[in-house]
């Protein structure tokens, strides 16, 4: 099922809306519509105009979030980082980047760009609105004044919140960039993540006494810091190896004319849940246990592997970095990759288990 769709391009970057954005849009509008001034439109206009203004405020707010992400992306592009897309979703905006720059100065500038855009936007909107109110009689009592006041305030809060020194906020990346000037990248990430976890712990304690929402944010921050720490450690460690160093060269394949019933028996005997499908020397696809599960038991005697295999095969060349394989597995949510040589023939197969084994052996050598 497609969970996001593209609505346009800015700076050559595809802009997408996630399905969760469509769900949160009316919720935000309802919050603005049912709250009194200065952060809502309750009792300010007719009910219809109330909800229209609330919806417009919500849309403009997410436009500001998009500009925040474009700030990151613009600086990243200047340093040669490929931006696959920007997706607006439940938690705000997310820039999908090829890789975050390891250069501390570059990461610092890139991380600060988003909050900087939000702070500039918020300050400009807030001051412009204030000046307009001082020059135009009774403007301060209009819903338009309230709308821009809300947008200005939220952008300033968004900018300051993202500067908090904890992953996954931009402040966590700023802190890592500061540490990375004094130590290696893995250690810098570990220290920055540890401070983020400590920050999340204290935020959760405060939330117990004052606001339950802080507990949810603290949980989000703690998980984000842990994932960043783990992901960075794995990626940097695997950069030492090429795919050929850690792959399994002995590839067990199946023919496309094998029946599903025979495939199940084959899987049971060989104890693997996925196999490349090869006919002669030609790679036709890949078949996994998940594909088999989609076939009703009565059809497994009739249908063949060619009927259920995946033909869009994700593969890597033998000289690729093992870290590239890890990123490819994570982005495609798959457990194994086929490795091909310069002739396009299958040279091996690489699984998450192979990568984790390489990680364990590397740690033993330290």
Q: What is the CATH number of the domain that holds 266?
A: 3.10.580.10
Residue of 69, 107, 228, 324 marked active site: 69
For the chain, what is the domain count?
Answer: 3
Query: How far is residue 309's CA from residue 276's CA, in Å, rounded to a whole number?
Result: 9
pLDDT at res. 152: 92
- % of the chain at pLDDT higher than 70: 96
Model pLDDT for residues 3-49, shown as the tens digit of each residue: 777 888 888 888 888 787 777 788 888 888 888 777 777 776 677 78
- 28 and 67 assigned to the same domain: yes
Domain range holding 213? 172-238
Burial 162-193 (b: 16+ CB within 10 A, else e): bbbbbbbbbbbbbbbbbbbeeeebbebbbbbb
The upper half-sphere exposure of residue 246, i.e. CA atoms within 13 Å in the direction of its Cβ, equals 30
Query: How far is residue 154's CA from residue 57's CA, in Å, rounded to a whole number?
Result: 11
- 82 and 187 assigned to the same domain: no
- 11 and 158 assigned to the same domain: yes
Choose the final residue of a domain: 206, 238, 270. 238
**DSSP-derived 3-state class of residue 25:** helix
- 229 and 251 assigned to the same domain: no
Model pLDDT for residues 328-356, shown as the tens digit of each residue: 887 777 777 888 877 767 888 888 888 88
- 155 and 194 assigned to the same domain: no
Q: Which residues contact 340 (CB under 8 A, 6 or more apart)?
A: 283, 315, 316, 317, 318, 346, 347
Query: How far is residue 100's CA from residue 110's CA, in Å, rounded to a whole number?
Result: 9
pTM over 0.85? The answer is no
Query: How far is residue 15's CA from residue 96's CA, in Å, rounded to a whole number?
Result: 11
Choose the final residue of a domain: 105, 136, 163. 163
DSSP structure class, residue 247: S
Model pLDDT for residues 280-333, shown as the tens digit of each residue: 777 788 888 888 888 888 888 888 888 888 887 778 888 888 888 888 887 777
- 40 and 120 assigned to the same domain: yes
Model pLDDT for residues 12-23, shown as the tens digit of each residue: 888 888 787 777
- 148 and 39 assigned to the same domain: yes
Choose the final residue of a domain: 210, 238, 266. 238
Answer yes or no: 69 catalytic: yes
- 250 and 210 assigned to the same domain: no
- 75 and 112 assigned to the same domain: yes
Model pLDDT for residues 46-62, shown as the tens digit of each residue: 777 888 888 888 889 88
> Residues 289, 274: contact at Cβ < 8 Å?
yes
Neighbours of 138 (CB within 10 A): 8
Q: Which tokens hold the place of 199?
A: 């920050």
- 158 and 10 assigned to the same domain: yes
- 26 and 46 assigned to the same domain: yes
Query: How far is residue 62's CA from residue 54's CA, in Å, rounded to a whole number?
Result: 13
Model pLDDT for residues 174-232, shown as the tens digit of each residue: 999 999 999 888 889 899 999 989 988 988 899 888 877 788 888 888 888 888 888 88
> Residues 247, 355: contact at Cβ < 8 Å?
no
Q: Which residues contact 91 (CB under 8 A, 6 or more apart)?
A: none
Q: Is the pLDDT of residue 118 over 90?
A: yes
- 119 and 221 assigned to the same domain: no
């Amino acid at each position: 099922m497609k969970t996001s769709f593209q609505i346009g391009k800015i700076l050559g970057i595809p802009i997408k809306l996630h399905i969760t954005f469509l769900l949160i849009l009316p919720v935000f509008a309802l919050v603005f519509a049912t709250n009194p001034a200065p952060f809502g439109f309750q009792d300010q206009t007719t009910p219809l105009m109330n909800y229209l203004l609330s919806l417009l405020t919500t849309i403009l707010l997410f436009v500001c979030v998009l500009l925040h992400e474009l700030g990151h992306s613009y600086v990243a592009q200047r340093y040669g980082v490929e931006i696959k897309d920007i997706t607006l979703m439940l938690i705000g905006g997310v820039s999908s980047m090829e890789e975050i720059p390891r250069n501390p100065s570059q990461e610092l500038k890139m991380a600060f760009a988003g909050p900087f855009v939000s702070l500039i936007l918020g300050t400009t909107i807030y001051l412009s609105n204030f000046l307009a109110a001082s020059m135009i009689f009774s403007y301060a009592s209009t819903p338009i004044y309230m709308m821009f006041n809300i947008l200005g305030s939220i952008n300033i809060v968004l900018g300051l919140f993202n500067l908090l020194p904890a992953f996954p906020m931009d402040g966590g990346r700023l802190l890592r960039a500061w540490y990375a000037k004094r130590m290696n990248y893995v250690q810098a990430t570990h220290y920055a993540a540890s401070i983020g976890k400590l920050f999340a712990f204290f935020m959760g304690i405060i939330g117990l006494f004052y606001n339950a929402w802080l507990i949810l944010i603290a949980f989000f921050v703690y998980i984000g810091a842990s994932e960043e720490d783990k992901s960075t450690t794995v990626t940097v460690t695997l950069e030492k190896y090429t795919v050929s160093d850690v792959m399994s060269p002995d590839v067990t394949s199946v023919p496309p004319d094998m029946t599903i019933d025979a495939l199940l028996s084959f899987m049971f005997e060989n104890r693997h849940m996925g196999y490349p499908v090869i006919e002669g020397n030609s790679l036709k696809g890949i078949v996994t246990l998940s594909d088999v599960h989609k076939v009703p038991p009565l059809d497994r005697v009739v249908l063949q592997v060619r009927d259920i295999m995946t033909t869009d095969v994700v593969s890597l060349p033998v000289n690729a970095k093992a870290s590239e394989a890890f990123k490819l597995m994570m982005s495609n949510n798959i457990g194994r990759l086929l490795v091909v040589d310069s002739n396009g023939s299958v040279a091996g197969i690489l699984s998450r288990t192979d990568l984790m084994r390489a990680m364990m052996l590397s740690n033993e050598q330290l």
